[in-house]
Amino acid sequence: MPSLKRLLVVMGAIVALTALAPVASAGSPRDFHLDKTCAEDSSEPLGFSCTVEHSDFKWIPAGTEIHYTAGPADNAQIATIEIKNGSTTGVCTWSSDVDAICAFDAGTGRLTQFNLAVVVTASADQSIWYWDGTYSFGN
């Protein structure tokens, strides 16, 4: 009987480790990049909205819109990304007219537990805006 208990303990440990392996790998940061264009939009609170032109992240494809509202400080804005099966909201803090850092740490639907940290830059003529950073899922 002791060998049966030992076998059950070993099997339980294997099952537990197998179940936890995807969670550990899910939290690993991955590279993130997108390009977007922005245009004036009088219906938006801050007067503009942006459209993703290219994204390396499949759940934020080209055509996705990013909307901005006033943030908690003069140099900060709230950015919201809505996709077919979810959304996420983050804060973008601007250090100049063309440089910012955005951080997203929660979401809904497909973007639940989506963590994104990006550096925002722009092309010389500000026709294209770039987000480069990392993303992960988990707490």
Boundaries of domain holding 85: 30-137
Query: Could you tell me if residue 41 is inside a domain?
Result: yes
Residue 11 lies in a domain: no
Length of the chain: 139
Task: Look at the chain and report how many structural domains it folds into.
Answer: 1
Model pLDDT, residue 108: 95
**More confident: 106 or 21:** 106
Residue 109 in any domain: the answer is yes
Taking the CA atoms of residue 61, residue 102, residue 98 and residue 75 in that order, the dihedral angle to the nearest 10 degrees is 140
From the number of C-beta atoms within 10 Å of its C-beta (0-12, 13-18, 19+), residue 117 rates as middle
Per residue in 34-48, pLDDT tens? 999 998 878 877 777
| 121 lies in some domain | yes
For residue 13, the surrounding DSSP H or E stretch is helix 2-26
The answer to whether residue 10 is domain-embedded is: no
65 domain-assigned: yes
